[in-house]
Amino acid sequence: MTFSLGRMYRISLFMGTALFLLVALLVGQKVLSPDQSAGERAFFVLWLIVMPYALYQNLYQIAYELQCTDNLLTWRSPLRTGTVPVSELRRIYSRRGSLGVVEAADGRRIQIYLRKGFSTFVSRLAQRSPSIDVSLGWYARLIERLPDRIPRINGSAPGSSASGWDSG
User: What is the domain partition of the chain in residue ranges?
Assistant: 1-148
| CA neighbor of 80 nearest in space, from 60, 99, 64 | 60
In order along the chain (168 residues), what is the average pLDDT of each group of 10 residues?
Answer: 88 89 78 76 80 88 91 92 93 88 93 91 90 90 80 53 41
Q: Are 59 and 17 in contact (CB under 8 A)?
A: yes
- Are the C-beta atoms of 164 and 153 separated by less than 8 Å? yes
User: Whole-angstrom Cα distance, residue 67 to residue 74?
Assistant: 5
For 9-57, the pLDDT digits (tens) are 889 889 988 988 888 787 777 777 777 778 877 877 787 788 888 889 8
Q: What pLDDT, on the 0 to 100 scale, is given for residue 27? A: 74
Asked if residue 74 lies in contact with residue 83, where contact means CB atoms within 8 angstroms, the answer is yes
